[in-house]
Structure 1
Amino acid sequence: MSGARWSIAQIFLVPVLNFAVIAFGLVSAPLGDGIWDQASWIALAVPHHRFLHIPALRASFVEGAGVRSDVDVIGVAILVPDTSVPFAGGVSARKPRHSPPHKRNVRGNMTESTVDTLAPSVAAPGAVSPRKVFWATWFGWMLDGFDSSMYAYILVGALSELLPASGIEPSKANIGIYGGLLFSIFMLGWACSMVWGWAADRYGRVRIMCWTVLVYSLFTALCGLATGIVMFALFRFVAGFGIGGEWAAGTPLLQESVPENTRVRLAGWLHTATPTGLFLAAAVTLAIGSTLGWRGMFLLGILPALLIAYLRSNIPEPERRAAHEQPSVAALFAGDQARTTWAAALMMACIIFGLWSSNFWAPTVISTKLFAAGATPAHAQEMGAVAGLITNVGTLIGCLLVPWLTTWLGSRRRTAVLFFVGGLISVVVSYEVAIEWLDSLTLFMVLLPVLGFFTNGVFGLFTIWLPEMFPSALRGSGSGFAFSMGRVLGAAGPTLIGALAARTGSFPLAISMLSLIYIVGLPLIALAPETAGKPLAR
């Protein structure tokens, strides 16, 4: 490399930037954009360097009946010195020499395009980078997960203060009853959010998504200012109303904005945002929960509002959306579409009922048992947060694997059967066997990733499947109705858990009894349309 003189700082800088570029590639390449827009601005920061592209690995993704697309899994860009320019501090630099832009073909199952990989990507009017849409919707849903899961970690602390303020004794039984009731109120607010789906069809995905983020962030923060149980319940209801709408607007936005050859993967991966939000809530609880207290934790819920400015300025409406069509909610319940709508809603009811009656009670079960064994409330709360982290490892793995599971099984229906049966078995073994029969918290903790894989990972499947069941003009309304009506029916789960636990004296027994809901859901799968291998309906 004649003509290039290296300083000590540059010797360390280049490997660091190489690592950063490779890391960007690992994250961005599967999203269809590669790493070149990131590489461009890194090159601006290091003006006497150029990039060498190494297409290290390509993989085939088969969706349904032989539809195939080849994608770069890892496209590595290595930062190397441009030897035509002196590379030393204090030397006046000539204009860097750049080789002609490297061209690469991106082949999908429907289109072929040539991408100038060194030029920064510029979105055409009405179009935007799939990567930007994915991360915008992903962050919105991740912050949803953070807001909605905080309650499970600070439930005991919040009710220990709010119940006496409302003239109610904060006994173990009352905390179980009111904790379940407040879960149900939150989910009823979530259920009432079906109106957001209709609004997203009529007024636009992006605009409505912004409103939902504003509502849930504001009212989550207000929960931290509640002075009694009634005020707290009201704020939780409205926060749930906003959180439920974010899914109804954001999921169609993603599916309609990305190329068909990456749609299934990105839709499945979108639900990884939920366990990430749960990870974040658990981590924040462990790190600063005892310092902030339950009120401070809820006040953190205002932070998602910062996402609104990015959405409004960077994400346009998808071109696939049938903006000229005026949606009619009645069309959801006419002809063959009616069977699809009700099958979707009832399946969602089963998995929501199962999730909120099992997975989200794990921190409470552990905290209660440890507290009863003489542990301090702080230690019991910390171990509950650890349980949440462990459970979410399984959820994250489940969501990442869902696109490949649907491809391997060749059917959305068969994938749903796998998750329903796995959900039933994992709940009974984790709660009834490990806790109730063997009284082993250690075994219970070991089984939590399996529990998370089946009871929460299944939502990665429905993030793919639900929007595929409805045409564009009804996609927000249909998906929103199915998810929201599922919450209406599933909202009974937490209340029943609290009531059964108070009657039987055992959370694990109550949770295991209600896991039979997965058996109820199996016949409903056959009523839903099989959409594997088919493009998104217009």
Structure 2
Amino acid sequence: MSSSPAPSARGGRLAFLAVGLCWLAVFFDGLDMFIYGSVLPHLLETKTFGITPDQAGDLGSYATFGMLVGALTAGTVADRIGRKKLMVACVTLFSLASAVCAVADGVAVFGLGRTLAGIGLGGLLPTAVSMVSDYAPRGRAAIVIGLLMTAHHAGGILSAYVAKWLVEPVGWRSAFWVCVLPLLFAPVLARFLPESLSFLVAKGRTEEARALAARYDVELPAARSDRQGTDERWTSLVNLFRGGEWIQTLLYWLASFGGLLLVYGVATWLPTLMRAEGYALGSALSFVVVFNLGGIVGMLVAGRAADRFGAPRISAVWFALTAAGVYLLSVHMPMTVTMAVVFLTGVFLNSAQTMIYATVSIRSHPGNRATAVGWTSGMGRFGAVFGPWLGGQLLAAGHGDWGFTAFALAGVSSTVFIGVAALRGSRQGAQDGPQAKQLAAH
């Protein structure tokens, strides 16, 4: 005799579907983000549009500037219109923007396309982090966020293969046409992704939220006690500075600045800098694959470690190890050793920044979560804008070997800031990892 699955089993599968859809959205985000760095060596060697290294750095910064705009506005907009609608809009925007890049006839149009893509990319990530926080199993928020971020690096791996397989035989424009394909995913996201529970609760749609929570077998976020503030545009932002929260907020923002300077500086310039070190183009792109494989491993390891020991502590240690790894890339080493260093740098670098987001997401009030994560990401985007520009300036001045040293110093600064934040939070006991257990007891 057949029996239907238990409600919790059905709910578990539905929650997996929700997280999986967010994973796919972030996968396409990663593809679009890394594709520029993957095709950049070809653009420079063929002098496409007459591009120079400093102009290439500027173009890289256009995308990260767009991400700054997207990240700063995403949290506030998502808290008002809903995470689901914003995610669909972001996927649509960066897909169409890639089409602009593919048909560009000059640097100006290409830069416009990268800027528009950046707005969509910057808005998607913090929104997806907030969404999976709602649908994560109890006590597993940090590791689920880590799993989500593996998608970003899986997209980075695909970008390297797209460049290796298509750019030489077909042309660089084909790589950006591949990045238009996520447009087909937008209707799927609109049809099957549920709305954020914390958004529904904050908007007073409690019955709808309760029904979704029961269906997906996840915890219903607690309602805010200051409901009158939910209709004020800047209340969520002001809440980040109430009482002594402003110190922690600024520490997270500063750590995120250094972290994203490092992440996007390396993401943009790794193939080009390794090419300048004498590696063939195919080998330079292989470093992108190895770097992102390390990123996937790092997300899985860091998520589990953060759930046990605390996200800020893990982030501080990871940033210190990243700084050492990035600096070593400026030293000539045998190929196998260099590959190992690139892999380990990928392990620590990408997950270090993600654990900042995990910390902010776990510690934030559910109704304020998207704004907190969005603004932490947004402040970090200033570093993301600066990183690609800095790499381009150093390369144009003939000091490309200093690029790795400059990025390593950014890792040291983030180690200090997140380390201080961890020490300040130590009086809260084991709230960073076991905080999830407290949330489950609400």
Question: RMSD between aligned alpha carbons?
Answer: 2.5
Contact 1:347-1:524 at 8 Å conserved across structures: yes
Q: Is 1:345 the equivalent of 2:253?
A: yes
Q: Distance in 2 between matches of 1:455 and 1:470?
A: 24
1:516 to 406, 409, 427: 409
Shift of 1:197: 1.3
- CA 1:293–1:280 in 2, change beyond 3 Å: closer, same or farther? same
Q: Distance in 1 between matches of 2:325 and 2:257?
A: 19
1:453 to 347, 356, 366: 347
Shift of 1:115: 4.3
Structure 2: 5+ residue stretches without partners: 205-229, 426-430
**Matched residue, 1:240:** 118
Q: Distance in 1 between matches of 2:365 and 2:165?
A: 45
1:301 to 152, 155, 179: 179
Q: Distance in 1 between matches of 2:268 and 2:83?
A: 30
Amino acid at match of 2:313: R
Q: Which runs of structure 2 are paired with 1:374-523 in the superposition (5 Å)?
A: 380-408=280-308, 410-431=309-330, 433-434=331-332, 438=333, 440-503=334-397, 505-523=398-416
- CA 1:291–1:466 in 2, change beyond 3 Å: closer, same or farther? farther
**Matched residue, 1:185:** 62
**Where do 4+ consecutive residues of structure 1 move more than 4 Å?**
114-117, 159-163
Shift of 1:261: 3.4
2:18 to 129, 133, 146: 133
The superposition leaves residues 135-155 of structure 1 with CA deviations (integer Å, 9 ceiling, x where unpaired) of 111111111000110111111
Amino acid at match of 1:330: V
Amino acid at match of 1:362: L
Shift of 1:442: 4.7
Contact 2:142-2:355 at 8 Å conserved across structures: no
- CA 1:366–1:489 in 2, change beyond 3 Å: closer, same or farther? closer
Amino acid at match of 2:75: G
The superposition leaves residues 287-338 of structure 1 with CA deviations (integer Å, 9 ceiling, x where unpaired) of 2332331111111111112222122211221333322333523333333332
Q: Flag the structure with more relative contact order, 1 or 2, with Cα contacts below 8 A and sequence separation at least 6.
A: 2
Three-state SS of the structure 1 residue aligned to 2:421 is: coil
Amino acid at match of 1:511: F
**Matched residue, 1:257:** 135
**Matched residue, 1:355:** 263
**Matched residue, 1:323:** 203
Name which one, 1 or 2, has greater alpha-carbon Rg.
1
Amino acid at match of 2:305: L
**Matched residue, 1:195:** 73
The superposition leaves residues 66-101 of structure 1 with CA deviations (integer Å, 9 ceiling, x where unpaired) of xxxxxxxxxxxxxxxxxxxxxxxxxxxxxxxx3556
Q: Distance in 2 between matches of 1:100 and 1:214?
A: 41
Three-state SS of the structure 1 residue aligned to 2:364 is: coil
Q: Distance in 2 between matches of 1:160 and 1:501?
A: 14
Shift of 1:223: 0.5
- CA 1:365–1:489 in 2, change beyond 3 Å: closer, same or farther? closer
**Matched residue, 1:45:** none
Amino acid at match of 1:419: W
Q: What is the total number of aligned residue pairs between the two structures? A: 400
Shift of 1:527: 2.9
Structure 1: 5+ residue stretches without partners: 1-97, 104-113, 372-379
**Matched residue, 2:211:** none
Shift of 1:520: 1.9
Amino acid at match of 1:344: Y
**Matched residue, 2:216:** none
Q: Which runs of structure 2 are paired with 1:277-292 in the superposition (5 Å)?
A: 277-292=155-170
- CA 1:305–1:359 in 2, change beyond 3 Å: closer, same or farther? closer
Three-state SS of the structure 2 residue aligned to 1:316 is: coil
Three-state SS of the structure 2 residue aligned to 1:531 is: coil
Q: Distance in 2 between matches of 1:262 and 1:496?
A: 37
Q: Distance in 2 between matches of 1:250 and 1:514?
A: 27
If each structure's strand is expressed as a fraction of its own residues, which one has the higher value? 1
Q: Distance in 1 between matches of 2:46 and 2:266?
A: 25
Q: Is 1:368 the equivalent of 2:273?
A: no
Amino acid at match of 2:181: L
**Matched residue, 1:47:** none
If each structure's helix is expressed as a fraction of its own residues, which one has the higher value? 2
- CA 1:404–1:258 in 2, change beyond 3 Å: closer, same or farther? closer
**Matched residue, 2:100:** 222
